[in-house]
Amino acid sequence: MKNILFTLSICLFFSCSGSKTIAQNTTPTKIQEPEEKVVQDDSILEDEKKVNLPKIITPIEEKAPETEKPLQKTPVVTIESKKSNEAFDHKIWNYLLQKHVSAKGIVDYKGFKQDKSKLRTYLNILSENMPKENWNKSDKLAYWINAYNAFTVKLIIDNYPLKSIKDIENPWELRFIKLGAKWYTLNDIEHRILRKMKDPRIHFGINCASLSCPRLSNKSFTAQNVDQELEKLTTSFINDTKHNTISANTIKLSKIFLWFGKDFKTKGTLIQFLNVYSKTKINEKAKKSYRVYDWNLNES
């Protein structure tokens, strides 16, 4: 009996140990398998990203230079060519002149008043871009003549309606012109800047808003056209019978030639200056007189 009981206990012991061993071995296997799969799946996904990213990016990088290069070249060339030709861009003033001044110099001040924001923009640009030492004479001439004319128009529309610039008290001595850090008068620009440039033709480029003045050109002066335009305006004014009556032996001139007589005598006599532009040859000893100046506003 004892032998039987001993045998049964041994069998039970080994049977239970076997069950525990199987249970222990089975549990880890089930836990480890999903962990290995997760690791393998993540690594595969990561590898796919590394491989696929260049395939998406590369075509964009290859196309970008083809579209960007042409866009970059045009503005660079335009800016450089503009800087090399003009120190200052007067296109806003040119637009206003074309719009509000006739070919004969008749000014629509009401129209200028409606466009006063554009005029203000141009005057502000003038103020922020004063002539520099390295500007050539043509750039400086164009700048100061345009400034004189534009600020004269501003003075008129600020006081409009009026019949004459002389309705404004001391119009040429008003210190209303802000350029850079300084305040100027119209006389400052004409007498202390433009006349010192020793080009008498400036008197036919600047306009005093009056019928007896040389006409206000309906195009802005630029470094490229200032010499040619001053030449045209001088010729036109001298031969215009509304301003001057010229014959070989008698001349009746605009008072501009009286007020600024010495400017026209830097290279000879007044008659010699006139003969450069006059269609009628004037004798050196021709009788000379001056016309009454009409200060009425040069408007329609």
- The per-residue pLDDT string of the chain (300 residues; one tens digit each, 9 = 90 and over) reads 444 444 444 444 444 444 444 334 444 444 344 443 333 333 333 333 333 333 333 333 333 333 333 333 323 222 233 344 689 999 999 999 999 999 999 999 999 999 999 999 999 999 999 999 999 999 999 999 999 999 999 999 999 999 999 999 999 999 999 999 999 999 999 999 999 999 999 999 999 999 999 999 999 999 999 999 999 999 999 999 999 999 999 999 999 999 999 999 999 999 999 999 999 999 999 999 999 999 999 997
Q: Which residues contact 14 (CB under 8 A, 6 or more apart)?
A: none
Question: What is the pLDDT, as a whole number, of residue 85?
Answer: 67
Cα(236)–Cα(204) distance, integer angstroms: 9
Per the CB < 8 A criterion, the answer to whether 143 and 151 are in contact is: no
Cα(114)–Cα(143) distance, integer angstroms: 24
Among residues 116, 169, 120, 111, which one has the least CA distance to residue 299? 111
Predicted TM-score (pTM) above 0.95: no
Question: What is the pLDDT, as a whole number, of residue 300?
Answer: 79
CA separation (Å) from 251 to 212, 274, 281?
17, 10, 11
Query: Residue length, the chain?
Result: 300
Cα(74)–Cα(81) distance, integer angstroms: 11
Cα(46)–Cα(124) distance, integer angstroms: 61
